[in-house]
A and B are shown apart, each in its own frame.
Chain A
């Protein structure tokens, strides 16, 4: 079964850091681009970041560029999102998703909640 499982969410104070992980199984992880998408409480889906298959290229939304870093370990089939200088507006459920040809997100993980609050 193709599956993505996120972990690492939790409560963090403004200015703090958190690292999210996304463990992949059931497919050849190293062949696919991967993305993070977030959803603030009661709001819509917002694309956050993307990494290519070998980790050599990344893109970020303007709202997180310079604070978040996306990486991957293809030997461990795991995607990472390092989040620094967190703000209240970063509070959201964070989903990882596989980029399947021709560009659809399938599957998605179950999501992990990040809450930034003092």
Chain B
């Protein structure tokens, strides 16, 4: 199975900061990479699909990039409601593995 590794595992930032989260696949997954946001006690919601496509209804401060094995999620200007845990997921194979998550906390 393809392994997904996110970094960092946790991150402290302030409202208004620009934040980048990285996801690396154990083999090339082309552009088959999705990003999810999860808040405590809630199911995840998709933010970005196919590496760089913004899901309908998601604010434009979220963006994604990358291809092959290396991907990034960027939040251009953090808002209070963005403090959550973020997961990458590959959809290159039928076994849709997730990264271990990045918890974004308020500094």
Interface string of A58-86 (1 = CB under 8 A from B): 01010000000000000000000000000
- In the complex, the answer to whether A105 meets B101 with C-beta atoms within 8 Å is no
Q: Which of B32, B50, B98 contacts A46 (CB 8 A)?
A: B98
Min CB–CB distance B105 → chain A (angstroms): 15
A26 contacts chain B at the CB level, 8 A cutoff: no
8 A Cβ contacts from A75-118 to B: 95, 99, 102-111
Question: Number of B residues contacting the other chain (C-beta, 8 Å)?
Answer: 24
Q: Which residues of chain A come closer than 8 Å to B100, judged between CB atoms?
A: 44
Min CB–CB distance B63 → chain A (angstroms): 16
Q: Which residues of chain B come closer than 8 Å to A104, judged between CB atoms?
A: 34, 46, 49-50, 55, 89, 91
- In the complex, the answer to whether B44 meets A108 with C-beta atoms within 8 Å is yes
In chain A, what residue has the closest Cβ to B89? A105
A27 contacts chain B at the CB level, 8 A cutoff: no
Q: Which of B34, B44, B50, B85 has the most CB of A within 10 A?
A: B44
Q: Which residues of chain A come closer than 8 Å to B92, judged between CB atoms?
A: 103
8 A Cβ contacts from B39-94 to A: 43-46, 49-50, 55, 85, 87, 89, 91-92, 94
- In the complex, the answer to whether A106 meets B87 with C-beta atoms within 8 Å is no
Q: Which of B32, B50, B94 has the most CB of A within 10 A?
A: B94
User: What is the bound-complex CA distance between A102 and B49, given in angstroms?
Assistant: 8
B97 contacts chain A at the CB level, 8 A cutoff: yes
- Lowest 8 CB-CB distances: which A-B pairs, in order? A103-B91, A108-B43, A44-B101, A104-B49, A45-B98, A104-B34, A106-B46, A44-B100
